[in-house]
Structure 1
Amino acid sequence: METVLEQAFKREECPKHHKLLQPGNRSQKVFFVEKGLIRTYYLKDEGKDITHFFFAENAFFMAIESIFYHNNSPYGVEVLENSIIRTIPYAELEHYIDQSDELEKLMRLLLIDMLKAFSDRFQSIQFQTAQERYRILLETYPDILLRAPLGHIASYLGITQQTLSVIRAQR
């Protein structure tokens, strides 16, 4: 039986390549990946798109810049494989959080996990080699090579597809 909170999340089946959000959006929604793989991306140098982050099953994501700071988010969101996404407006979710200590604690833990993931990502870009970033990506998403285009993986790692091919050949 579904809980009231589960019922509050709208369920949407999204086809591969569907753009959930464009860069510059002001989304107020919280997204949950029930099934599938999603990437956030930004545009650089005359429209070249760069993968910012991957989100797979059981992951939450939201446009933090829009929800908390009322600014445009620089990130777009693309579905990389047929997916099931659940959404809820943040204000509505906050209503449920205010009514439940357990949910408030869960949200705090989710936000800490998200902050840690972005901190790790920032550290990897600053201090790790491309080979180390690739190894960690495979540890985090063991099936990523089967699920995401190599161009998106290369841009996430901050390398060219040619460099990615060299790294893959060395493993």
Structure 2
Amino acid sequence: MELIKYLNTATKLSPGEAEHVDRSFSKKEYAKNVLLERPENFSKQVYFIEKGLVRAFYYKEEKDITHMFFDEDSFLVAFESIFFNRAHPYGLEIVEPSNVRTISYAQLDVLCNTIPAFKDHKLLVALKMISRLSEKIYSLQFHSADQRYKDLLHTTPNILLRAPLGHIASYLGITQQTLSVIRAGK
């Protein structure tokens, strides 16, 4: 969904505010497999996905591990870099052709200070991300691989059509072979 349409589903911006926000974000189309950010980056950018799929990933013992998938209507930000001035452990990779809006965090902060409804929405986005991370931790600790797979299909039903199985397996914390066994049992 386009950025302004998305924002107006959660908060109402005046036409002037909407135009100001729209102009403040740059627009770019990305091809599949483009690296937006490398792991251990110091990015100060905020991304909004209008169309497409992006994955956050990191390297552990030279293995590429998918941390999270972000699809349409998702904001992405390197919290560690922006708020704690340390390297953000996750890289960002375009998984399928995507339309992405970008703004620096400093510019976003200015928008938030001049448009109160936008500032309220920024807090809501942060709280949703905290909730999502909490749910993932809970799932990894207490759910079987089979249940994590079912949960992923429930929350993101078309993920199998959009992301490589290796990325899905690493997101679930299992091997690709285990994912194949789980899928074969369905």
Name the TM-score class by shorter chain: over 0.9
Check if 1:145 corresponds to 2:160. yes
Pick from 61, 64, 67 the counterpart of residue 79 of structure 2: 64
Aligned counterpart, 2:95: 80
| Equivalent residue letter for 1:95 | V
Shift of 1:27: 0.3
Q: CA deviation at 1:139?
A: 0.9
The answer for the alignment partner of 1:39 in structure 2 is 55
Equivalence for 1:20: 36
Is 1:114 the counterpart of 2:129 in the alignment? yes
The reply to whether residue 11 of structure 1 matches residue 47 of structure 2 is: no
Q: Deviations over 1:3-32 (max 9, x none)?
A: 110111111111100000001110001100
Q: How many Å separate the matches in 2 of 1:100 and 1:9? A: 15
Name the CA distance, whole Å, in 2 between partners of 1:146 and 1:128.
24
The residue type equivalent to 1:102 in the other structure is A
Task: Give the match for residue 46 of structure 2.
Answer: 30
Q: Cα deviation per residue 1:66-115 (whole Å; 9 max; x = unaligned)? A: 01111011111000001011110011101110112211111111111011
Q: Which residue of 1 aligns with 2:174?
A: 159
The SS at the match of 1:82 is strand
Shift of 1:140: 1.1
State the TM-score, normalizing by the size of structure 1.
0.97
Q: Where do 5+ consecutive residues of structure 1 fail to align?
A: none
Partner of 1:104: 119
What amino acid maps onto 2:108 in structure 1? L
Aligned equivalents of 1:7 and 1:48: distance in 2? 39
CA distance in structure 2 between the aligned counterparts of 1:130 and 1:3, rounded to whole angstroms: 45
Shift of 1:153: 0.2
Deviation at 1:159, TM superposition (A): 0.4
Runs of 4+ in 1 over 3 A off after TM superposition: none
Separation of aligned partners in 2, 1:136 and 1:67? 31
CA offset at residue 161 of structure 1? 0.6
Task: Indicate the percent of aligned positions where both proteins have the same amino acid.
Answer: 48
Residue 58 of structure 1 aligns with an amino acid whose one-letter code is D
In the alignment, does 2:185 pair up with 1:170?
yes
Structure 2, gaps ≥5 residues long:
1-14
